[in-house]
Amino acid sequence: MRSRISLAFLLCGAMAAAAADDPTRHVSVFIGTGGHGHTYPGATVPFGAVQLSPDTFNSGWDWCSGYHYSDSSIMGFSHTHLSGTGVGDMLDVLVMPGTGPARTEPGSREHPEQGYRSRFSHQDEVAEPGYYAVLLKDYGIKAELSATERAGIHKYTFPASESSHFIVDLAHAILSSPEAVPKVLSSELKIVDNTTIVGGRRVGMWANGRHIYFAMKFSKPFAASEIVSSGQTLDRGTRETSGKSLKALVHYQTAAGEVIYVKVGLSGVSVEGALKNLDAEIPAFDFAGVRKKAHDAWQRELSRASVETSNQKQKQIFYTALYHTMLAPTLFDDVDGQYRGMDLQVHQLPKGSHNYSTFSLWDTYRALHPLFTLMHSDRVPALVNCLIRQAEESPAGMPVWPLQGRETGCMTGYHSAPVIAEAAVKGFQGIDLARAYPQMMKRAMEDDYRGLGYYRKLGYIPSDKEEESATKTLEYSYDAWAVAQVALKLDKMDDYKKLLAQAANYRNLWDKSTGFIRPRLANGEWAGPFDPKLTGVSKNWRDFTEANSWQATWGAQQDPQGYIDMLGGRQAFVKKLDDLFSQSLEIKGEVPVDMTGFVGMYAHGNEPSHHIAYLYAYAGAPYKTQERVRDLLEKQYGNTPDDGVAGNEDCGQMSAWYVISALGFYAVDPASGNYVFGTPLFDKAVIDMGGNRKLVVEAVRKSPDEKYVQSVTLNGKPYDKAWFPHSAVAQGGKIVFKMGSQPNLQFAAAENAAPPSMSSK
């Protein structure tokens, strides 16, 4: 008897320990679903093609993900969502259960009873990585959701009703305004039998012309069904149709507590592909099994990082941020290796390869992709090779913001270049640089793309000829720097020299008299009147992309030393940075909604600012970087829906900044393969880099308030520089920070301790 008790005690102890080690318990998926975070709370798996989540509204900037925490009713559950973007799309294949009269329009948020919407309470919501549940109060139906990579599964627990039903809405989509008509270019719907519905659609929204197909199976045969086309119910004998506004209704009688499951496979290729994906990934109506596999996948991926801290709020923010870094890019291929390319043609992948979508590159090249090189090295070659394929397949050339086989063209620059360059510089194997290089050089040296012709001819983009000209000049200079790193890797030295000359073009917009990057006219004169708090001089358009000159001036990430030289030395550079953070909060002219999270004129809620706090380290004042970074970590992130992130999550970039900065460093210039030291947030962090490699970061301090670095050891040796190369930790490594309550003004202050720059001597 004693041995049984002891065994039971040990088993309970082991289970408790396993639960304690499960990082999913620290994730709050509702962080960022309020405010301007634009995240969604639904079920998905790491990098999965399916994001099965509730939609509370489908119009307006704060509803780009289809969900906002301020709402009190749900339209239904659709299968694709964007995490934290500033533009909306997706929300494909909405499913909504109900009881009573079956309605075919969703109704309004003000009067949900007029449509198929249902009221809900946040108290009745349960969400964790890979699982979502809510009570639909108007119908008394409990909805539960989970997902695999290419399929989703629904579990609905009904009350007793003779009029239970589901609506499947293929017209549901993001709208440009509440009164707008969904931009569905075409769609098809087929009721195969009394358990199966298939179909697809082409959508003309942000990713104009993208294809999506589905296969849906119900666990219980429906008693009746009908198709509604453009508001008209078709004859019940109609089992198949096409049109721009298609919906299906299926009807049941249910007993109290009866459960009906719905499983749905998606494909960008065809209905047949969707069926293959569904049968391969959810062969049975095993909701518990799918939920467990989703949980296990998240536990496995989140366990790549282990942090030690007594601050549970920071731990929750960290693991939720880490969760958000794995919601994009998203898988976009079928189980048989077929995928729809950027040319809208169907292609076949080599065995073992994958295709991806949802590359928010203007945002994510800065921190998300550098984080992947540390935590997801197994995925990096596939992601980079996907970008190379897209460059070859796309009529638009180098990827800018590709989404499900279409180029949205969103944002400036061509920032697939630094992602490819970073992987090359960091020595990742299995990347076809020989295929990448012609595409990169074509964009840098030949394409007349969004002002690049002016950029090569004049050395800058004139503000009277092209919108957002100042930002484009800066970003093309950085992209040229990135392509130059690939040229150097391939020993193309003539190209390398030409690209370096292009990378220096940002200086042509430097106005010494003001100390700012500013717009310039085609005739060489400065555009004016100039005010660094203006987003644009011209009344026709902005001169800066989601920024003003205070933020954009620092945009040539490859050359902080160049700024130091132009400003007249380190002291002037540090003062300029101090002035940025101490400016009054007064933006002039048009204020883009993306500009949020202000500290002076620094705007943490938008990506152009993300590297700026680390620039002090280039001028011998790394202690100021430590002050600023710690302040941003503590004040720009929270653990509630509304204060979770300072601005749009942007497919993981806002969260990646937190994750990598909390480790104690950041990639100011990702294409260089270097990191700049900041300040570690946690007492200890261990990153599993894969292949039995670990990066260990320790902070030796008496109190969590000790934020100043006194000294560093790297891989067991004293280290006196403000930066380190990726090669130092590529095979694993250990960084130990000795911390203190007061700044060490000598640490990494010498000029030879500064991070490398394009202009470094």
DSSP per-residue letters across 36-57: T-----SB--TT-S--BEEES-
Confirm if 89 and 205 have CB atoms less than 8 A apart.
Answer: yes
Q: ∠687-691-697 over CA atoms, to 5°?
A: 20
The model's pTM: 0.96
Residue whose entry in the numeric block shows the structure tokens 């380290």: 617
Contact at 8 Å (CB) between 684 and 650?
no
Residue among 214, 194, 172 nearest 50 (CA): 214
DSSP string, 592-628: -TT--SEETTEETTSGGGTTGGGGGGGGT-HHHHHHH
Q: Cα(225)–Cα(239) distance, rounded to whole angstroms? A: 9
**Cα gap 483→491, rounded to integer Å:** 12
Low-confidence ranges of the chain (pLDDT < 70): 1-20, 761
Task: Give the per-residue pLDDT at 1.
Answer: 35
Sequence-separated (6 or more) residues with CB below 8 Å from residue 276: 265, 267, 334, 335, 336
Judge whether 43 and 53 are in contact, CB under 8 Å.
yes
CA distance 372 to 364: 10
At 548 the pLDDT is: 94
Largest CA distance in the chain: 94
pLDDT at 178: 85
17, burial (CB in 10 Å: exposed 0-12, middle 13-18, buried 19+): exposed
Give the pLDDT of residue 586.
81
pLDDT of residue 11: 36
- Domains of the chain, start order: 20-302 (2.70.98.10), 305-753 (3.30.2080.10)
Q: What SS3 string covers 140-191?
A: CEEEEEEECCCEEEEEEECCCEEEEEEEEECCCCCECCCCCCCCEEEEEEEE
| Residue corresponding to tokens 């000359």 | 501
Query: Which among 95, 89, 407, 149 has a CA at the least distance from the CA of 274?
Result: 149
583: buried, middle or exposed (CB in 10 Å: 19+, 13-18, 0-12)?
middle
Cα of 455 vs its chain's centroid, Å? 29
Strand partners, 738: 700, 711
